[in-house]
Amino acid sequence: MLVTVQQLKSFLGKSENDQDALLTLIAEGVSATIERALGETVIATASVTEVVKGNGYATISVSQRIRTVVSVTEVDAALTSSDYRIQAPRNLERVSNGLSISWAHGDVTVVYMPGYTAVPHDLRHAALVQSAFEYAQTKDGGNRIGLSSNAPGGEGESVSYLTHDLLPEVQRIVANRRVW
């Protein structure tokens, strides 16, 4: 999860434990929604194995952000960590004696841990803001289902409702973190 129940309770100003199950469900759902919007796992607990085609260039790309590399095999030959280096979030550069060289044409098997070592502060903040909004939609949180704003007017009031999954602030944070 991008945010713990304790962090969410602190953000909401709650100290009781009677809503921990509800807050856990909300935090898990929000975390999954943000990760889906990012297109990647933020904190992975298992390694990923990908087979990519060596392209004759110095750099190959995998589908997720590389936290650490477990192993790389180039056309049946196991490489050591001095034979490649992580470039940008999803790329591996082939090197020899510190200089870029081309990957061989053929299958390159990369086993790696995706994601980050810790949840980045902006993603944690996004999860807190979105979770607080989701909580406000519940009966215990005020029963504001879909309500975005409620402003009194001269002859009545103006009410706005949200029609998308993530709040605009959260969408901006996700967009800034997304790697294509």
Write down the domain spans for the chain: 5-42+118-177, 48-114
The predicted pLDDT at position 88 comes to: 84
pLDDT in tens, the chain (180 residues): 999 999 999 999 999 999 999 999 999 999 999 999 998 889 999 999 999 999 999 999 999 999 999 999 999 999 999 999 999 899 999 999 999 999 999 999 999 999 999 999 999 999 999 999 999 988 876 655 555 556 665 566 655 555 458 999 999 999 998 876
Question: Which DSSP letter does residue 110 get?
Answer: E
Amino acid at 177: R
For the entire predicted model, the pTM comes to 0.73
81-to-55, 56, 97 alpha-carbon distances in Å: 20, 20, 12
Which tokens belong to 176?
A: 């800034």
Find, among 158, 170, 164, 132, the residue nearest to 146 by Cα. 164
Q: Which residues are within 8 A (CB) of 98 and not within 5 positions of it... i.e. 6 or more apart?
A: none
Find, among 54, 178, 49, 59, the residue nearest to 113 by Cα. 49
Nearest-angstrom CA–CA distance, 30 and 32: 5
The predicted pLDDT at position 111 comes to: 98
